[in-house]
Every structure is written in structure tokens, then in C-alpha cells.
């Protein structure tokens, strides 16, 4: 139980980290009419914008929050990208390079490097799938063509600064990251599609959200604040599934413990029929005899839980030191090395279940030991 709970805790932690630091952030400020599909970083309709008044108000609130680590405004758009004879559809995201690199710290650059925004020619990061289909490498030049918010066709030449893999195949096959000024030139927009926020302490997210909502209530533009788990509903589904599996596992382990201790206590009672008869003849009450057997069962449970917890902690540490090579999840391109966390709450629950199950298992045999006649028990001596 200790190892299983530790592995699930690592799984939930890893999933949270992969969502937050693959671009979503701990929270986001979005237009209320945003067509959210579970991940804001994956691209809304081009007309969904936060006005400059909202972005300025949000920035003022976030700058005053010590828990805020990075603030990354984004401007999303769609269009066509051309490289030589090849032209493909793409989803573009204009980003502020410094905070965005922090929010995408788990994104792997397979070639080139992250842009700074200070290059003479605008640079872009291209998803690995899209780069492969276009046949481009770092330092190649591609043309981005889109319609601006004013309905005019705009275009810009950008140099491929790097090629990235987010781990999600369908995202890497259509995404281009460009500096925010380049995106604003293409879209002729001054606002943002959303603002992603990374926190130093995720526990402070509720305080930051409350501060943002109070400030946004005073702005005329409709905007909302969403947590990372609201933007990624798949996380809640995975947690519910794994918790159901863990509860089933705990139930099976409890039944095994009860049956094992019940067998041990049944043999112990059967072998002590004579001793029980002598104690009853000496004036020991039924409650006192039952208590003796229950104390014996509790001792067995405590000893077993102590050995189990110690072995479980040792196994967690050993497995974490060795690492477990896991295959890529469905729809992803990279595997990962799993570990097992030591979860104090799971250790306490496992110990309580072991002791409680042992006492419960001893209750039946101990009650049977006092049902017979004293004379019958004495004949067995």
C-alpha cells in the first residue's frame, strides 16, 4: 500500500508539472467568450482578445503579488506558413520570450535555441512535426501569412530559431511560437489572447485568483481567471480513475489481512482451549479473556505494520534511486523516468488498516473461545 500510494502520488505530481510547465501555467486570465478546449495554450479563435486596459490591470495586480514567478502574455492567431514550395496551415502564438521560456521549461528543444526577441530578424520556434513537414531546420526562413483583426491580409518573414517538442504530437504538428511584437504586427492587435501565470508557491493560487477577480470586476472588458486544472479536465479524470484503482487495491489488501490474521487467531484460540477453561475456572470474565486475544491480535497488527511500513519506505527510496523507465503516454512522443514518493498520510493509513484489520479478524475467534462450558474446556487439559 505504501509503494502503490507513493507511485500514484508521483504520477499526480508529474502530471501537474507537465501541465503547468508545458505552457499552461498555474492560472490564466482569459476572455469570457474564449472557446476553451481543455488547454488554452492550444489556440482559440483569433478574435478573442483581452484589451490593453485589462492586460495593464492584470499586470499591476500580479506585480504586487510576491507569490507570482512569471507572467506570460500571449497573442494567438492562425494562418499559413510557407517554406519553399510547401505551404501548410499553422497555429501561431506570440509570446514574451523570458517568462514564456520559464512556463515552457519542460518543452524540449531538439535543435537550435530559444529566441530572445532582440534578434535583427524575428525568430520563431517551430513544432517538430510542422518542421518535418515543411522540411526546415534552424536558420531557415519561413513566411507567415494571416488575416489581421482588421480583416487585412498580413505577412512576415521569420527565421527558424529552434525546433521544439512538447511531447504532444498534434500540438507539435501545427504550432509556431513567435515574439509578441511580431504577432502584434501580423494581427494588428494591441491586447492579448490570454495571460499565463506561474507561481513560486502553488498554494498561494487562491489568494492570487481572488485579487485578480476583484480587479477584473472593475474593468469593462469581460474576462475570467481559470486554474490549471480547469484548463486541463483530463487531470481530474485521471485522478478519479487512479484513486478508484487505489481504493480497490486497499480493499483487497484489507480482505487479505483479515483472512490471514483470522486464520492465525483461530489456530491460537483452538490451541488454547484448555488455558481458556482454566482462566474461566479461576474467575476470569469473558470480557477479560476476549481482551487478551484482541491485544494479541493488535500486537500482531502493530508488528506487521511496522515491518510493512519500514519495507515500504525502503522500497520507495530504492525504486526512486533506480528509476522506472515508463513508455510514452498515449498521444505523446517521450517516455519518462518514474519514481515513488514517500507519502506520510498513506503510511499512517496503511498502519491503521493493518492494526484495525487484525483486531477485527481476532474478534470472531475470541468470542467463540468463551461460548463453551467451562467443564468441556477443562476436559481438554
Distance (Å, whole) CA 30 – CA 10 = 30
Q: What is the 3-state secondary structure (H, E, C) of the chain?
A: CHHHHHHHHHHHHHHHHHHHHHHHCCEEEEECCCCCCCCHHHCCCCCCCECHHHHHHHHHHHHCCCCEEEEEEEEEEEEEEEECCEEEEEEEEEECHHHHHHHCCCCEEEEECCCCCCCCCCEEEEEHHHHHHHCCCCCCEEEEEEECCCCCEEEEEEEEEEEEECCEHHHHCCEEEEEHHHHHHHHCCCCECEEEEEECCHHHHHHHHHHHHHHHCCCCCCEEEEEHHHHCHHHHHHHHHHHHHHHHHHHHHHHHHHHHHHHHHHHHHHCCHHHHHHHHHCCCCHHHHHHHHHHHHHHHHHHHHHHHHHHHHHHHHHHHHHCEEECCCCCECCCEEECCCCCHHHHHHHHHHHHHHHHHHHHHHHHHCCCCCHHHHHHCC
The pLDDT value given to residue 149: 87
- Tell me whether strands 175-179 and 223-227 are parallel, antiparallel or unpaired: unpaired
Whether the Cβ atoms of residue 191 and residue 50 lie closer than 8 Å to each other:
yes
Q: Identify the bridge partners of residue 197 per DSSP, sorted by sequence position.
A: 27, 71
Distance (Å, whole) CA 46 – CA 37 = 14
Find cell 520507495 and name the residue. Answer: 316
Whether the Cβ atoms of residue 139 and residue 187 lie closer than 8 Å to each other:
no
The pLDDT value given to residue 35: 45
The pLDDT value given to residue 43: 40
Distance (Å, whole) CA 231 – CA 28 = 9
CA angle, 137 then 140 then 145, to 5°: 110
Whether the Cβ atoms of residue 287 and residue 353 lie closer than 8 Å to each other:
no
Least Cα distance to 55 among 35, 39, 33, 31 occurs for 31
The pLDDT value given to residue 373: 63
Structural Rg of the chain based on CA atoms? 31
Q: What is the pLDDT along the chain (381 residues), one digit of tens a residue?
A: 889 889 989 988 888 888 888 889 999 999 886 444 444 433 444 447 888 888 888 888 998 899 999 999 999 999 999 998 999 999 999 999 999 998 888 888 999 999 988 888 999 999 999 999 999 999 999 999 999 888 899 999 999 999 999 878 889 999 999 999 999 999 998 889 999 999 998 888 999 999 998 888 877 767 889 999 888 888 888 888 888 988 898 888 888 877 877 787 778 777 777 777 777 777 777 788 888 888 888 888 899 889 999 999 999 999 999 888 887 766 566 777 888 999 999 899 888 888 888 888 888 877 777 776 666 656 655
- How distant is the alpha carbon of residue 11 from its chain centre? 7
What is the phi/psi pair of residue 204, to 5°? -85, 5
Cβ atoms < 10 Å from Cβ of 69: 16
What is the phi/psi pair of residue 31, to 5°? -65, 145
Whether the Cβ atoms of residue 262 and residue 358 lie closer than 8 Å to each other:
no
| Burial environment of residue 150 by CB neighbours within 10 A (0 to 12, 13 to 18, 19 or more) | exposed
Grid coordinates representing 137 are 531546420
Name residues whose C-beta falls within 8 Å of residue 289's C-beta, 6 or more positions apart in sequence. 276, 279, 280, 366, 369, 370
Amino acid at each position: 500500500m505504501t509503494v502503490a500510494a507513493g507511485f500514484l502520488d508521483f504520477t499526480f505530481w508529474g502530471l501537474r508539472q507537465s501541465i503547468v510547465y508545458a505552457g499552461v501555467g498555474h492560472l490564466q486570465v482569459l476572455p469570457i467568450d474564449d472557446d476553451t478546449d481543455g488547454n488554452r495554450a492550444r489556440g482559440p479563435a483569433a478574435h478573442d482578445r483581452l484589451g490593453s486596459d485589462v492586460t495593464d490591470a492584470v499586470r499591476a495586480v500580479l506585480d504586487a503579488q510576491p507569490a507570482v514567478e512569471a507572467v506570460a502574455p500571449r497573442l494567438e492567431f492562425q494562418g499559413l506558413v510557407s517554406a519553399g514550395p510547401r505551404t501548410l496551415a499553422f497555429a501561431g502564438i506570440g509570446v514574451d520570450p523570458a517568462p514564456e521560456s520559464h512556463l515552457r521549461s519542460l518543452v524540449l528543444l531538439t535543435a537550435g535555441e530559444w529566441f530572445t526577441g532582440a534578434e535583427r530578424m524575428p525568430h520563431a520556434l517551430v513544432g517538430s512535426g510542422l518542421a518535418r513537414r515543411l522540411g526546415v531546420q534552424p536558420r531557415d526562413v519561413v513566411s507567415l501569412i494571416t488575416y489581421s483583426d482588421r480583416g487585412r491580409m498580413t505577412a512576415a518573414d521569420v527565421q527558424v530559431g529552434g525546433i521544439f517538442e512538447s511531447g504532444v504530437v498534434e500540438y507539435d504538428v501545427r504550432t509556431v511560437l513567435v515574439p509578441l511584437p511580431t504577432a502584434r504586427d501580423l494581427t494588428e492587435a494591441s491586447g492579448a489572447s490570454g495571460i499565463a501565470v506561474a507561481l513560486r508557491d502553488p498554494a498561494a493560487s487562491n489568494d492570487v485568483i481572488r485579487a485578480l477577480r476583484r480587479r477584473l470586476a472593475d474593468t469593462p472588458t469581460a474576462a475570467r481567471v481559470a486554474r490549471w486544472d480547469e484548463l486541463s479536465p483530463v487531470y481530474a479524470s485521471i485522478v478519479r480513475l487512479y484513486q478508484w484503482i487505489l481504493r480497490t487495491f486497499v480493499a483487497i489488501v484489507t480482505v487479505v489481512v483479515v483472512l490471514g490474521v483470522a486464520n492465525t487467531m483461530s489456530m491460537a484460540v483452538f490451541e488454547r482451549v484448555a488455558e481458556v477453561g482454566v482462566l474461566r475456572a479461576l474467575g476470569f470474565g469473558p470480557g477479560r479473556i476476549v481482551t487478551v486475544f484482541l491485544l494479541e491480535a493488535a500486537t500482531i497488527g502493530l508488528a506487521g505494520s511496522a515491518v510493512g511500513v519500514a519495507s515500504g519506505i525502503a522500497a520507495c527510496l530504492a525504486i526512486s534511486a533506480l528509476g522506472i523507465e515508463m513508455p510514452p503516454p498515449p498521444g505523446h512522443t517521450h517516455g519518462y523516468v518514474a519514481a515513488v514518493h514517500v507519502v506520510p498520510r498513506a503510511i499512517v493509513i496503511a498502519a491503521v488498516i493493518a492494526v484495525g484489520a487484525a483486531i477485527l479478524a481476532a474478534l470472531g475467534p475470541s468470542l467463540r473461545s468463551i461460548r463453551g462450558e467451562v467443564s468441556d474446556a477443562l476436559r481438554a487439559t
